[in-house]
A and B are shown apart, each in its own frame.
Chain A
Amino acid sequence: MKRIIIERKKNQVQLSFNPLFYKSYFIDAAIQDFSKICDAKKMDDMLLLEPKTDIDVETLGYEFYNYVLCLSKN
């Protein structure tokens, strides 16, 4: 299953998280921490990120994933 879907035309990235590894409160915390970098829309089982700055959408998606992992580890 593809967890990161990049839509370059819309300048968006769709993320889906496995809830067994990524808890929703860590995702919420990451959304808050990324609030200056991107807008986030939470859907049923996915998260839509739209960059506010000129950051590449692919980099944004993967960095967000890494950040949630770091929060989960701690």
Chain B
Amino acid sequence: MENYEIDSKNGIVIVSINPKIYSLDIVYSAAYIFTEKCYVLLDGDPLQEIIAELRPKSKDEDLKKIGMEFNNELINYANYDSQSRKNVRLREILLQRAMLTNLAPSKDANQPIPMQNAEYLEKEAKPWKSSKETKDEENNNRKEEEPSATFV
């Protein structure tokens, strides 16, 4: 059983939608996608039967294909809608976390860095060096120190 009628004379497809299966939001979303290639008129009753009249902007379009694609788009958005309902709690948690990590800076932020942190920055926060480079550096330091030891 098909839910669409093709009016070749006027160049339109009339799709009948059951609002118990597809909510009005889903119909709006599917219709919105089709506004790019068709003129879309919604009519009927959102509680009984929704009628979508699709008129392709280009005359070359296959009307049957448009009717079937519209049905596919309805299913696509119905699936998206059901998935987003399932994930609503998860999205809330993620959003809360994201908001908490971006708290406004406190009043202490403009105060000078304490001594401990300053020492850390001087000693530890240096550009990274490979282990070979550090060994070479150590050897060079030793060589500089050794001659003085022999003279003594």
By a beta-carbon cutoff of 8 Å, the part of chain A in contact with chain B is 1, 3-4, 18, 20-22, 62-63, 65-66, 69-70, 72-73
- B32 on interface, CB distance cutoff 8 Å: yes
Q: How many B residues face the partner with a CB closer than 8 A?
A: 15
By a beta-carbon cutoff of 8 Å, the part of chain B in contact with chain A is 24, 28-29, 31-32, 35, 39-46, 55
Known: A4-B41, A21-B46. 13 other contacts (CB 8 A): A3-B43, A20-B45, A21-B24, A21-B42, A62-B55, A65-B41, A66-B35, A66-B40, A69-B28, A69-B31, A69-B32, A70-B32, A73-B29
Q: Please count the residue pairs between chain A and chain B whose beta carbons lie under 8 angstroms apart in the complex.
A: 36
Instruction: List chain B residues, Cβ under 8 A from A65.
Output: 39-41
- Cα A62 to Cα B38 in complex, Å, equals 9
Top-8 shortest CB links A-B: A62-B39, A21-B42, A73-B28, A73-B32, A66-B35, A18-B43, A20-B46, A3-B41
